[in-house]
Amino acid sequence: MRQYQTLEQNYRTAKVNEIQALNTAANALMQSDQNLDARLSAAKAASLIQSAAWVNVETQDRVRLTVQKMQKVTSDAKQKESTKLLDYDRSIAGICDQLNNHLLNHPKTLEEITVCQTPILLSQASSMLIARGEELAKSGDVNAAIVQFQQAKKWNAQLALNPKTTAQKLADRGEGKRLIAEGEKLAQADNIEGAIAKFQTAQKLGTDLNIDPRLKAQQLAATALIHTGEESARKGDIQTAIAHFNRAKLLAPTLKVSARSWNTLCWFGSLHQQATDVMDACEKAVAFSPTPEFANYQNSRGIARAIAGDRPGAITDLQASLSSTDNPQRKAQQQRWISILRKGDLPTNIDIQQLLNNK
């Protein structure tokens, strides 16, 4: 019994010392115009007194006076005619009002400062806790999320959520998104099987892909191959570009390759003297071309036909494209090539090189 009394006395002494230290700090901070920290220290001291009615009267009075003086300073700053100390309850309410935004963003501090825990503030703070809990859960920190949700329910009993279940569902959702992102990178690097494994694991966690994992991986890989093929074409490595395009179509036969992509292969393949090899791309560029770009892609096919020796086809394309363009440089180039073709000749390497340089 005596040991318990000693422990209790030591606890109370430590608590009084803590209150006094907070009160002293509040006064010092107030004197140095560190108002936020001063209010926080005073509010913490007042909260400790609120939860410990046995604190000696002298300590209580000192804290009350600090709170009242602090609020009088604030009042004086707004109303020069104020000369009296506000009563303690009004002073506490004023300090809490000034701390409102800070406490909303610092729930652990709000948990300490019980004197400011109004139903409205706790309800608002619970919403902040829910938002933070969701972020933590989605990032994979389930335990930290549960703590946030539990505190939110403590402050707002009307919340209809199970902290553990909600945290785990959100964690699974977040992990699913991460797995999909990893799978997409693998697919784009042509690691299709690795991508499929990631997508399937994401599905097991409840993530809806809206598409079969293998089909998704193949489409992503095919799209990446098209882009890589375009880069190869621009660099003049036409056979590698063609191989990328062909593999893309094998992987994903239903993939819609844009007319722009086909035209890139057509144009650079032609200018690098491989027009026959890319003629299919030229045909697709024209066939799939949106109206605004039709003349451009028809011009590309015309160039390819000319280089491949198809004079009639080239003249038809270039003549049609000529009537649709306002670009003086292109008009001059098309007229020159049409003139050469009508004479029964074919463009020279110099003519082709000029196009490549201009491009």
94 token code pair: 């004023």
Domain limits, the chain: 2-103, 124-204, 259-359
Q: In the chain, count of helices (H) and strands (E)? A: 17, 0
Mean pLDDT of the chain: 89
307 token code pair: 């280089």
pLDDT (tens digit per residue) in 8-30: 888 989 999 999 999 999 999 99
SS3 per residue for 293-349: HHHHHHHHHHHHHHHHCCHHHHHHHHHHHHCCCCCHHHHHHHHHHHHHHHCCCCCCH
pLDDT of 295 over the 90 cut = no
Provide the pLDDT for residue 52: 84
Please give the distance of CA 146 from its chain centroid, rounded to a whole number: 24
How much of the chain, in percent, has pLDDT values that exceed 90?
68
Question: Lowest-confidence range among 71-85, 112-126, 163-177?
Answer: 71-85
Provide the pLDDT for residue 142: 95
For residues 76-97, average pLDDT: 70
Residues 6+ apart with CB under 8 A from 4: none
List Cβ<8 Å contacts ≥24 apart for 193-201: 195/220, 195/221
Provide the pLDDT for residue 148: 95
For residues 95-108, average pLDDT: 93
pLDDT of 170 over the 80 cut = yes
Q: How many CB atoms lie within 10 A of CB 57?
A: 7
For residues 162-173, average pLDDT: 95
pLDDT band at residue 357 using 50, 70 and 90 as cut-offs? low
349 token code pair: 């390497």
Q: How many CB atoms lie within 10 A of CB 277?
A: 18
pLDDT (tens digit per residue) in 185-238: 999 999 999 999 999 999 999 888 788 999 999 999 999 999 999 999 999 999
What global pTM score does this model have? 0.69
Provide the pLDDT for residue 75: 52
Q: What is the DSSP string of 21-42?
A: HHHHHHHHHHHTT-HHHHHHHH
Alpha-carbon span 348 to 356, nearest angstrom? 13
Whether the CB-CB separation of 311 and 337 falls below 8 Å is answered with: no
pLDDT (tens digit per residue) in 329-349: 778 887 888 888 888 877 766
pLDDT of 49 over the 60 cut = yes
For residues 42-69, average pLDDT: 90
For residues 302-314, average pLDDT: 91
139 token code pair: 């990032």
Alpha-carbon span 41 to 25, nearest angstrom? 7
The dihedral of CA 288, 293, 294, 300: what is its sign?
negative
Provide the pLDDT for residue 291: 82
User: Fold for domain 259-359?
Assistant: 1.25.40
